[in-house]
Structures are given as structure tokens and as C-alpha cells.
Amino acid sequence: MFLYFTQHFGAMTSHRREMNLQKMLTLRNGYRRLIADELSKFETNEMSNCEFERLLRLLTETAEEVKMISDKIIHHNDVEDMATELVESKKYSFELKLKLVRLEKQLEERASQSEQGCRNYPSNT
């Protein structure tokens, strides 16, 4: 009876870890989809400088959340191919960081062309 219980309990614990991993993967993929959708808004050039800056700040914060989730996934015991996950996660983070840096540069150029800025807006939205 004890052996059955420990085997069954071990299987339940493993199943919970897998669900936790699956939840983190789903969460990360959702954030990535959100980031992709929001990045496309920068292509329209219909935003004011304040909207541009606020969206850029929100994307930067969301990118940090994705990075934290990815780090948890990489260190999770149930990751099947840790090397592939590491490379894929870091590659995404590097590419996103480069995009965000380019957008920051664009924001600086936009701000220098107009005197309208919104750097003093509170960061909580």
C-alpha cells in the first residue's frame, strides 16, 4: 500500500510540475504574441510622442517579464531540451532588445523634431 501511494503521489507531483511548466510556456507565448502585436503599432506612425513613449515603456516592462519567465523555464526540471530552450529564449531576448533600442532612438529623434514630450508622465499606467 505504501509503495502504491508513493508511486501514485510521485506521478501526481510530476504531473503538477509538467502543468506548471506548460503554464509558464503558455504565459510566455501569450506575452510574446502581445509584444508582436504591439510592436506592429510603431509601423503606423499614427502615435503621438507621448503614446510612443508610453507604449515603448510598457513593451520594455513586458520584455522583462518574458525574460523572467524564460529563465524559470530554462531552469525547470522538466525541460526536455535545455540547450535548445536556452538558445531560443536568448535569441528572442536579444532580437527584442535590439528592436526596443531602435525604437528608443526613434523616440529621441521624434522628440528632437518637436518640442512636445511627455517624459514627466508617471510610469504607472
Which residues lie closer than 8 Å to 120 by C-beta, 6 or more apart?
none
What is the average per-residue pLDDT within 9-13? Answer: 51
Compute the mean pLDDT over every residue in the chain, rounded to the nearest whole number. Answer: 84
Q: Angle between the 2-40 and 49-74 helix axes, to the nearest 10 degrees?
A: 160
pLDDT at 78: 81
Domain presence at residue 9: yes
Domain presence at residue 123: no
Asked if 42 contacts 99 with a C-beta cutoff of 8 angstroms, the reply is no
| Count of structural domains, the chain | 1
pLDDT at 26: 96
Nine-digit cell string for 15? 504531473
The pLDDT tens digits for 64-88 are 999 999 999 988 888 788 899 999 9
Domain presence at residue 120: no
Domain presence at residue 125: no
Count how many Cα atoms sit within 13 Å of the Cα of residue 81 in the half-sphere of its side chain.
5
36-41 long-range contacts, Cβ below 8 Å, gap at least 24?
38/62, 39/99
Domain presence at residue 77: yes
Domain that holds residue 14: 2-113
Domain presence at residue 81: yes
pLDDT at 118: 65
Domain presence at residue 118: no
